[in-house]
Amino acid sequence: MIPLFLCFASLALQGCVTPGDGPQPNRVSTGQEIELGQQMAAEVEKEEKRLNNPAIQKYVSEIGQRIAKQADRQDVPYAFTVIDNPETINAFALPGGQMYIYTGLMKMCENEAQLASVMAHEIGHVAAYHHGEMITRQMNAELVQSILVGRSKSELGKITGQLMGAGVAMWFSRGQENESDTLGMEYLFRAGYKPEAMVDFMNKLAKYEQEKGGGGPQPRVLKLFASHPATTERIAHLEALLAKYPIELRNQNQNHFDRYKTNVLDQIK
């Protein structure tokens, strides 16, 4: 198997960099980011099937907008689409704020707050300009421009595939993942959800990884968070973050078990 976390083979014009923490340069404008995201969304929708259930699409969209309203970045059109794929545990945001959520992930969540926690993490990547930073790191301005004007269709397909799949490890650095967890928990909390839902979901994921991932072939389905840092390391970070939120404030927030069961778990099998 070809290691996917080499730089994009043909895109690595600036060499393979493993960025450390701290702010990184971003030379992608918001307009370019949105345009690139729209082109990538078209690629995603060639590969994946939208869930044909308007009620669920609306429900998930409302969760997303509730969180997006709390984000530090408001100059991108946040949008949320559920993909009909119960075998794939995944969710990802494209540059410019469009997000895709797989039914496989939704089945794994026990309540609305857990789903919201994953979505909040993804919104964190968008809000902190991680896509622009990554593109700046991996591509020169000419290549970005040639993709935008449709002269590099194959490159567009390649980077979209990377973002959708296991190549996510090379999209975001450890520092960016930690930053998204920090921002995500804050947005989750401000949107009225219990921030511990983020820890609960990561624990669930760690357990699943252990059960399904030990020994035999790695589950192809588990694309979500197929990145550094390791799940256990992230749980430790999330638990430390959680301590910032006083218990009496957390207790006023919700998990929404019933609403999630009625709207999602009873509907998708």
CA-CA distance, 117 to 100, in Å (whole number)?
14
Least Å from the CB of residue 150 to Zn ion: 29
Residue 247 beta carbon to Zn ion: minimum distance, rounded to whole angstroms? 27
Tokens 């797989």 appear where? 102
Tokens for 177, please give them. 């993942």
Residue 59 or residue 201: which is nearer to Zn ion going by CB? 201
In angstroms, rounded to a whole number, what is the distance separating the alpha carbons of residues 216 and 222? Answer: 14
Q: Look up tokens 């995201």; give the residue.
A: 37
**Contact status, residue 241 vs residue 182, Cβ threshold 8 Å:** yes
Amino acid in position 173: S
Minimum Å gap between C-beta 255 and Zn ion is: 22
Q: Whose Cβ is closer to Zn ion: residue 59's or residue 179's?
A: 179
CA-closest candidate to residue 137, choices 6, 229, 8, 17? 17
Closer CB to Zn ion, residue 8 or residue 92?
92
Q: Are strands 91-93 and 79-83 parallel, antiparallel or unpaired?
A: unpaired
* Cβ-based nearer residue to Zn ion, 35 or 177: 177
User: CB 168 → Zn ion: shortest distance, Å?
Assistant: 7
Check if the beta carbon of residue 228 is closer than 8 Å to that of residue 169: yes
What are the strands, taking DSSP E only, across the chain?
79-83, 91-93, 98-102
How many residues bind to Zn ion according to rule CB under 5 A? 2
Tell me the C-alpha distance between 88 and 165, whole Å: 10
CB 224 to Zn ion: min, Å: 9
Beta carbons within 8 Å of 259's beta carbon, 6+ residues apart: 112
Least CB distance to Zn ion at residue 121 (A): 6
Beta carbons of 48 and 104 less than 8 angstroms apart: no
- Closer to Zn ion by Cβ: residue 56 or 63: 63
Q: Return the number of the residue (24 or 180) whose C-beta is nearest Zn ion.
A: 180
What is d(CA 4, CA 205) in angstroms, rounded to the nearest whole number? 22
Instruction: Output the smallest distance, CB 260 to Zn ion, in A.
Output: 22
| Contact positions with Zn ion (CB under 5 A) in 146-165 | none
Enumerate residues 162-201 that contact Zn ion by CB under 5 A. 177, 180
Choose between 91 and 143: whose C-beta lies nearer to Zn ion: 91
Structure tokens at 140: 């020169």
Task: Return residues touching Zn ion (CB under 5 A).
Answer: 177, 180
